[in-house]
Structure formats: structure tokens, C-alpha cells
Amino acid sequence: MHADNARGALLGMAMGDALGLPAEYHRHARAGWGRSVLWEKNTVLDEQRISRPMLPFGLSGGSGGLLSGTDDVETAATTALVLLESRDHGTNTLFEGWRKHYVETDDVWCGIAERGAVRHALRGERPPVTGSDNPVYWDDGAVASAVPIGVLYAGDPANAARVAQDYARITHSRDGVWAARAMAHAVAALIGGEFLEPALQEAELTVPADSWLRRGLERAAEAAEGADTAFEAIPALVESFGRPVYSHGGVAPETLPLAFTLTRLVRGDLAAGLQAAALLPRQSDSLPAMVGALCGAIDGEKAVPADWAAQVDPVSGVLLPGVAGQRLTSLADRLLEARERFALA
């Protein structure tokens, strides 16, 4: 296992997270007046049958850099701090660490699943209720947390999957948990030196047979069958996963299967994977970050251009203030250094 691969996983995730229109909305979460005007004026434009909507803006620009990571990166960075600050990685200890960053920190912006868990925690509930009694327990918000878990447990995918499952149960249940578990297993195996196909196959074996996520994996594989390149597979993948029948884009039984499929098609090539993932618009909030993490774990930091690294390595804290000022490369190094301590624990 190599620091290069651990750093690559986090930087690759950040590159994907920085891409696409959803990231623009995240970077303007604290734009105040500009954000309220955006929603108000877009309603007026709809009434006037104007086809081009206004885009996120602010008089002083958005928070962070123009290509800074947002929700997935900050979720992963928060998880890294929880892992590093905890005396062990049991469910109760992880929950207390999570509370510090999501419940006891002011002005946190987060997803629906996380907000539901926060409200449960404020009422005194604990996992698994915080995750199971949740309107979007199946979303992919916990998958980003699985990446730093996979880094810390590099070479030990079984324990990575166990810890990811326990951590994901704070905010999610069933398919949302199983997706995080599979991602942690894959990242830990890849950073540990496993080849791409065995790593993904073994991660898929952690998914229950009779589940929405399992059916998503099978559907993605079927849609991509016969395609020689990721670009060639895009129309079939969009046809299978891109129909606008629901408003929520981050559906774990869709995004994780797409991430595994695209990573296979590009054979772990980071640049090719990011470009392909950006072509599925309805999944653009999280899919590029997942593909970036998987390909980065294979290609390593050496595949990240210096100009990209300069933009995505610093964590801005635009949504989760507790991680402002962290650097992903430093977190990757610290997670690897902590491996022995938690292996012994």
C-alpha cells in the first residue's frame, strides 16, 4: 500500500466533487442575498417562459476556490477527523465524534439524510434509529465517508466495510449503508494493492442479493455490456439511470453501480473516469466524486495535475465549517499513519 494511492483517492474524489453545476450551488450556500434572489428571479423567468435560468452568484463570489470540493469532500474530511480523534471505531464512539461535527457545530449545511439524523440526535435518539427512521435512508451521502475509512483500513477491506457500515448507520439504512460498505471495501482493497476487477467483485459480494443496490449493479453491468469505452456506454447508461422520474439525484442504488461500471470501463484511469462521470447529468452531484475516488486509489496522486491539486487539496468548509483549513493530502497521510493504532485496538 502506498501514500500515493491514499492521497490519490482523496484528491480524485475532490476533483470529481468540484465538477458540475451542483458544486456551484454548494459553493454559494452562504451567498445570502444572492441565493435568495436566485430562487426568486428564476420563478419570474419561468413565468415569462425564459428558457435559460439564472446561475448561482454572489457579489463577492462563492465560498472557497472556483474548483474547490464541496459536500462530498467535506463529508469525507469530517469522517477522517472523526476517525482520527476517536479512541476506537465502535458504534458509540463514532456517533459521539459525528455529533461533534454535525450537531454541536453551528451553521452546518448538509443533505436530507444527515439533517434527519441531526434532528433525531437532538431528540436523544441514537443509531440505528437516527439512520433508519429517515426519509432518504437510501441516498448516497454516506458513500463519501467510506473513502477515508477505506484509506485508514487500507489492505484490510473486511474491517473497512465493518467500520463504514457502523458509521453509515448514523445517517442511513439498508441500501444507503450497503453502498457505503461496498465503497469502503473497494477503496481499502485498491489502496492495499489489489487489482481493479477483483477489488470491485469482492466489494460487490458484500451487497445483499435481494436488494435495490444489487439490482442496480446488475442493471449497470447489463447497460454497459458490449461497450468498449465509457463514452460508448453513456447513452445506454443514461437510458437506464437518467430518466427524470424523481427529483433526488443522489440515489445510492444508482450512483454506486454507475461508479463501479465507469471505473471498469476506463480501467481505473483518473482523467478518463472523471470525464465520463461528468456526462451523466442527473448523478453529477456525487457520481464524479465516487469515480474519482476509485480511480485515484488506483492511479494515485501522480495522476493528479499540479494545478488541480492546488485547487482541490485545501478544504474550504463551505458547508461543514469544522473542516475549514484541512488539507486532503495531510489527512490521507495521517489516516495511513493511524492504521497500526486502530489495527491493534
Question: Where does residue 64 fall: left (phi above 0), alpha (psi -120 to 50 degrees), or beta otherwise?
Answer: left
Q: How far is CA 207 from the centre of its chain?
A: 18
* C-alpha to C-alpha distances, 308 to 49, 191, 321, nearest whole angstrom: 38, 21, 23
The Cα–Cα gap between 154 and 184 comes to: 9
User: If residue 94 lies in a helix (H) or strand (E), which one and from where to where?
Assistant: helix 91-102
The Cα–Cα gap between 37 and 54 comes to: 10
What cell does 340 get?
497500526
What cell does 24 get?
456551484
Residues within the annotated binding site for Mg(2+)? Answer: 70-72, 285-286
The Cα–Cα gap between 96 and 170 comes to: 10
* C-alpha to C-alpha distances, 163 to 148, 186, 252, nearest whole angstrom: 11, 13, 18
**Closest by CA position to 171, among listed 144, 209, 149:** 144
The Cα–Cα gap between 286 and 228 comes to: 24
User: If residue 17 lies in a helix (H) or strand (E), which one and from where to where?
Assistant: helix 3-18
Q: How many CB atoms lie within 10 A of CB 213?
A: 26
What cell does 275 get?
470525464
User: If residue 264 lies in a helix (H) or strand (E), which one and from where to where?
Assistant: helix 252-265
